Amino acid sequence: MSCTRREVLALTAAAAGGALVDGACASAPARPDPAGPPWMPLEPIAIDWAMREVATAQVHVEDLGDGRQRRTITHAPWVGITPAMMLWYLGHVDQKLSWHGNDDVIAYRYWHPRDHIHFKIDGPFGPGCRFHIVEAFQRNPDFLIDDIFHVMKVDESGFEMEIRLGDVAVAHMNERFVRTAEGMRMVVEQTIGTTDPLLRLPLQIIRWQHQALLEAWIRHNVEEVGNIPHFLPALYAAHQGAAVSSGA
């Protein structure tokens, strides 16, 4: 399914009145139960560590001058994490993998045991697949995101994905795995908006109306990246022989 430019503009203008773009008109995979209740935060998974504070990362917000805004988070290094482990995890993130006494939850929930709700890989894992992601920053229903991300790149250097309205990219994520002397770190770039002249202003309005959500995302991202060393080594050691998700 694709949208005409007029339809995309109408959808974007409508979104400016109430909610962030949610992948409408992008052939989004269906909810498990479309007639059921809306997504809500789940009961947190118990953990035995303190999540990272925003002050542990370097955060830079930049207006690009073309209608887009970029947030860059340079995270503190990880200990004991490799690019191969991260790539394996991304390929299994929507599968139920036991860890720490949890047997009936998808691996995505370990990434942020409080905020993460749902993840589904649509299509064979790799460039061209789509990630259906549902999460609620700080477990706040007002900060709930339910989006379809089109994956452009995923390998041992990191991954890139974007949210689209029709054929127009309106949000872009570039999440890089960087080797340093202190250990591997993640550098996350979130670019919101478009250079499309018809959509530039409506998307700026959406961004202005959702500043609190975007600020909540910064805290969420610092926390979820900091959680990785606390669960992934054990999860990887126990399950690395599992088949990569086919998106079925």
pLDDT tens by residue, 87-109: 999 999 999 999 988 988 999 99
Identify the residue with better confidence: 38 or 11: 38
Q: Which of 29-43, 96-110, 131-145, 158-172 has the lowest mean pLDDT?
A: 29-43
pLDDT tens by residue, 201-243: 888 888 888 899 999 999 999 999 999 999 999 999 999 866 6
Its CATH class, for the domain covering 5-13+21-27+54-239, is: alpha beta
- Does residue 2 surpass a pLDDT of 50? no
The residues spanned by each domain of the chain are 5-13+21-27+54-239
User: Would you say 117 and 41 are in contact if contact means Cβ atoms under 8 Å apart?
Assistant: yes
pLDDT tens by residue, 105-151: 999 999 999 999 999 999 999 999 999 999 999 999 999 999 999 99
User: The tokens of 176 are what?
Assistant: 């890089």
Q: What is the mean pLDDT of residues 7-36?
A: 47
CA separation (Å) from 119 to 3, 101, 108, 109, 245?
25, 20, 7, 9, 12
pLDDT of residue 199: 83
Q: What is the mean pLDDT of residues 54-64?
A: 97
Identify the residue with better confidence: 132 or 17: 132
